Amino acid sequence: MRRASGGIIVWLTGLSGAGKSTLAAAVRDVLAQDHAVEVLDGDEIRAHLSRELGFSRQDRETNVRRIGFIARLLARHGVIVIAAAISPYASTRDEVRAIARAEGTEFVEVFVSAALSTLIDRDVKGLYRRALAGQVKHFTGISDPYEPPLGPEVTVCTDHESIQESTAKILKALADRRVAISVELTG
Amino acid sequence: MRRASGGIIVWLTGLSGAGKSTLAAAVRDVLAQDHAVEVLDGDEIRAHLSRELGFSRQDRETNVRRIGFIARLLARHGVIVIAAAISPYASTRDEVRAIARAEGTEFVEVFVSAALSTLIDRDVKGLYRRALAGQVKHFTGISDPYEPPLGPEVTVCTDHESIQESTAKILKALADRRVAISVELTG
């Protein structure tokens, strides 16, 4: 029986606008030189697999579990999966981690941290302005909870680190955990 | 940039009880000796990713599109994906095929055919009896449509072929299409 090499799930959690997608792409671009990599973006997965779901706690948890299910399927075949999803509830992230680990898949939680005030100032998509005006219900950090990880494998602070610095932190954590990943650290 | 070898999607379509899951497992067991293989079972995917979906045409199509989405993700990384799902609508199957092929993934449609009368006679799970009694709504073949493929790559007739014969037909079709797959035909 052919056994695929164990993959790894890199789970980026954090507020909207904190830089999850940007970091996911940056990490992917480095790893993809030598590895099979797939980015699972929370918004994209919603569009493909969870269009009927809303933003209640239950629906958010369902979406996170679905991302976890697909991530595990891919990781089982040796793919490095980078999930970028707000995933606001600690218990749901821990559940995904526990199931992955039980299957022999490494799980690296990355807390993409940025001060809410910075995100409100930046507000690239204008979402915070609308949320603060009460025009977007269930907006994480404003009108919906976000539970920061208590013991993330990596924390990056995108409000005072460069993308290169944050990327390098994540790559180093992967290199520390997996002999197979040997990347040139550029940050 | 590392390019994974192109995978392949083997899509088993047919009525409930026709033998899709049995054949998927048999094909997997042979291929898994040398290849990365994943079976995506329609019922299992429903439980994980589509629990809120019912059996209307729209919901069935959504479930099939979701299986297709995951199948393509896996195939992109060189995995041989065997999907086993009733997938009753020809247009939805053709849509999945078209998207997969556009991405460079081979798609092999396998019509798992068996006479309805045979399935009603067998009725391993007792579902046909309940459907005929009107106790199961939207039951494919009884109270819901099934559109057989017009041009499937493989047709297996499980009401008068052995599992070994049907398995061998599918494996031969794969070997014909992909040099990388060299399997010992046992049927």
pTM score, whole prediction:
0.88
Test B36 with A1 for CB contact under 8 angstroms. no
State the catalytic residue, choosing from B87, B113, B143, B182. B87
pLDDT in tens, B4-14: 456 899 999 99
**Which of B48, B70, B79 minimises the CB distance to A77?**
B79
> What's the CATH fold of domain A8-115+145-177?
Rossmann fold (3.40.50)
Q: Which residues of B touch A48 (CB under 8 A)?
A: 65-66, 69
Per residue of chain B (187 residues), give pLDDT as tens. Answer: 444 456 899 999 999 999 999 999 999 999 999 899 999 999 899 888 887 888 999 999 999 999 999 999 999 999 999 999 999 999 999 999 999 999 999 999 999 999 999 999 999 889 999 999 999 889 999 999 999 999 999 999 999 999 999 999 999 999 988 644 544 444 3
pLDDT in tens, A34-87: 899 999 999 899 888 887 888 899 999 999 999 999 999 999 999 999 999 999
Complex ipTM: 0.84
> What's the CATH fold of domain B8-112+148-177?
Rossmann fold (3.40.50)
**Which of A36, A48, A52 minimises the CB distance to B4?**
A36
Residue B166 annotated to the active site: no
What is the rounded distance in angstroms from the CA atom of residue A106 to the CA atom of residue A75?
9
Test A2 with B34 for CB contact under 8 angstroms. yes
What is the rounded distance in angstroms from the CA atom of residue B26 to the CA atom of residue A97?
31
Q: Which residues of B touch A28 (CB under 8 A)?
A: none
Tell me, letter by letter, the H, E, C secondary structure of chain B: CCCCCCCEEEEEECCCCCCHHHHHHHHHHHHCCCCCEEEEEHHHHHHHHCCCCCCCHHHHHHHHHHHHHHHHHHHCCCCEEEEECCCCCHHHHHHHHHHHHHCCCEEEEEEEECCHHHHHHHCCCCHHHHHHCCCCCCCECCCECCCCCCCCCEEEECCCCCHHHHHHHHHHHHHHHCCCCCCCCCC
**Which of B38, B49, B53 minimises the CB distance to A69?**
B49
Q: B76 vs chain A: nearest CA distance in angstroms?
A: 9
Q: Which residues of B touch A2 (CB under 8 A)?
A: 32-36
Q: Would you state the pLDDT for residue B12?
A: 98
Among all residues of chain B, which has the CA nearest to that of A70?
B70
Which of B3, B31, B35, B70 to probe by mutation at the A interface, max A CB count within 10 Å?
Answer: B70
Query: Would you say residue A5 has pLDDT above 70?
Result: no
